[in-house]
Amino acid sequence: MKKETKKLDREVRTRIAPSPTGPAHIGTARTALFNYLFAKNPPGGGKGKFILRIEDTDKERSLQKWTDEVIEQLKWLGIEWDEGPDIGGTFGPYKQSQRAEIYKKYLEKLFTEDKAYYCFCTEEELENKRQEQMSRGLAPKYDGACTRLSAEIIKKNLTEKKPSVIRFRVENKKIKFNDLIRGDVEFDAGLLGDVVIAKNFENPLYHFAVVVDDFEMKISHVIRGEEHLSNTPRQILLQKALGFNTPIYAHLPLMLNMDKSKMSKRQGDVAVSDYHNNGYLPEALINFMVLLGWNPGTEKEIFSLSQLKKEFSVEKVQKAGAIFNVTRLDFLNGFYIREKDIKKLAELCKPYLKEAGLLITGQVSENTLEKIIEVSKTRMKKLLDIVELSDFFFKENLSFDKNLLKWSKMEDTDVKEALLLCLPDGRQATNKKSLGDLNPKKGEWTVQKIKEVLEDAAVEFNKQKNYPGKNRGFLLWPLRVALSGKQFSPSPFEIAEILGREKTLERINEAIKLL
């Protein structure tokens, strides 16, 4: 059974502790979000604290640029922390590389109490032992070869600078704890073997550093991915050995690919920056990530961050793996794009159009740009889509296969006749207006006026060709392709209104020449 979450007698403090060895992973962002939301609305009410800590004990691979990216991307998502390396706090420093003296103090305590020891076994020796154990059907673990070396041998090995690590003595006992998501969990610590906790007194490793940091920073709840579940017994043993309180644990479900395999950093777009750069909105990504494991218990699936701060509860987090469905993300992102104020959306689209060389300063007015964005946004799944959806508005000349102009079984001559009806000369015999007869200076070049002229021409064309009367595609399809050069685009009325009279007539004539 799950543990009942009631108000604690201590402040609720959660944390996210990424390693700056590469781009910020989408899984890290989801974990940060769940910790942030839990801190903002903890069980029993009140407000907790959310801490950002950088676990950069891997000195060779940890880079400042990745720390900067974590900070940048989490801020872009709207996830804010109360303490961290960029803003400080009561329990800093918040980078493990700056906490060496703190770790050293607790390592010395373990040595003094004979709870840790030097191990001089080589990698080759350890691997041979692992293989031998597995060949006998045993779970591989450290066999304790160095557990009781004499003080003389240890001193001699250290003097000779023989490679070594520091191991923690693991008790052979059952470790039980209650997980807020998974309920009661039990591990047999006897299967673990003595854990390596440091390279030396100056270089602690993950299991040891995280235990010390969580204690020193008064972390009350450790909310992290399921892949860390097997780490928990080791860390609980270390906490008990050091006399620390054990935080309350909650292990989030794995994030899975569509084929239900575990999402990996080596597979596709998994960095937050990938989604950011491709034009996913932060509010859409937040909405999507919270549904990767959290079920609100209703049909509702649109949640703002402010709503989530009030509605999120860890009791509604599921155990089963969460499928990372990009189609669902695209749906949510498209929704948020359509909800955007058009001026704000235009500003968000500008960098993509400029990067593609389409939007040149002064070439298009703000009003025209907003109209382009308005007619394109219903088909946008992400901001980057604006390039492909609207490039024809910015190009001087279009290039496309003339066969794209044909609707149904039309021949070249049929298409040509249809396009000619859009021009002044094509409708002289009927004394009806063509596109060329609309006067922009008189306010006639509007979507409504253009639509009236073209729909009337479509009816006329169908009569001439004996086509079905209500099927306007025989004229409107060739016209839309002539104006956009695309199989899919906004209506010809909207395109023509934005292009303007001269450009519209020019493109119709170019399409006729192509035939």
**C-alpha to C-alpha distance for 255 and 267, rounded to whole angstroms:** 13
- Return the closest-CA partner of residue 271 out of 459, 32, 25: 25
Give the pLDDT band (50/70/90) at residue 398.
very high
Query: How would you class 347 by CB atoms within 10 Å of its CB: exposed for 0-12, middle for 13-18, buried for 19 or more?
Result: middle
Taking residues 384-396, report their average pLDDT.
96
**pLDDT tops 80 at residue 429:** no
pLDDT of residue 371: 97
Compute the radius of gyration of the chain from its Cα atoms.
Answer: 33
Domains within the chain, CATH numbers bracketed: 340-394 (1.10.8.70), 402-514 (1.10.10.350)
Taking residues 276-302, report their average pLDDT.
96
Give the pLDDT band (50/70/90) at residue 479.
very high
Longest dimension (CA), the chain: 113
Cis peptide before 85 (omega within 30 of 0): no
pLDDT of residue 428: 61
Query: Higher pLDDT residue, 257 or 446?
Result: 446
**In the 8-state DSSP scheme, what is residue 181?**
T
Q: Are 418 and 474 in contact (CB under 8 A)?
A: yes
Give the pLDDT band (50/70/90) at residue 3.
very low
pTM: 0.91
**C-alpha to C-alpha distance for 308 and 34, rounded to whole angstroms:** 10
Which of 100-114, 193-207, 267-281, 343-357 shows the lowest mean pLDDT across its residues? Answer: 267-281
pLDDT of residue 293: 95
Which residues carry out catalysis? Answer: 265
E strands, 320-411, in order:
322-323
Is 449 annotated to bind ligand?
Answer: no
Which residues pair with residue 204 across a beta bridge? 198
Q: Are 43 and 4 in contact (CB under 8 A)?
A: no
Give the pLDDT band (50/70/90) at residue 307.
very high
Give percent above pLDDT 70 in the chain. Answer: 96
- Return the closest-CA partner of residue 95 out of 50, 57, 49: 57
- The mean pLDDT value of the chain amounts to 93
- Return the closest-CA partner of residue 15 out of 47, 43, 42, 53: 53
* Helices 412-420, 473-484: inter-axial angle, 10-degree rounding: 80
SS3 81: coil
pLDDT of residue 259: 85
Give percent above pLDDT 90 in the chain. Answer: 83
**pLDDT tops 90 at residue 411:** yes
Taking residues 14-37, report their average pLDDT.
96
SS3 165: strand
Taking residues 178-202, report their average pLDDT.
95
Give the pLDDT band (50/70/90) at residue 4.
very low
* Residue pLDDT, tens place only, 81-99: 999 999 999 999 999 999 9
* Residue pLDDT, tens place only, 256-279: 988 888 876 555 558 999 999 999
**C-alpha to C-alpha distance for 335 and 347, rounded to whole angstroms:** 18
Q: Are 315 and 263 in contact (CB under 8 A)?
A: no
CA 437 to chain centre: 51
Q: Are 332 and 347 in contact (CB under 8 A)?
A: no
Q: Is the dihedral of CA 169, 192, 224, 294 positive or negative?
A: negative
**Tokens matching residue 312:** 């999120």
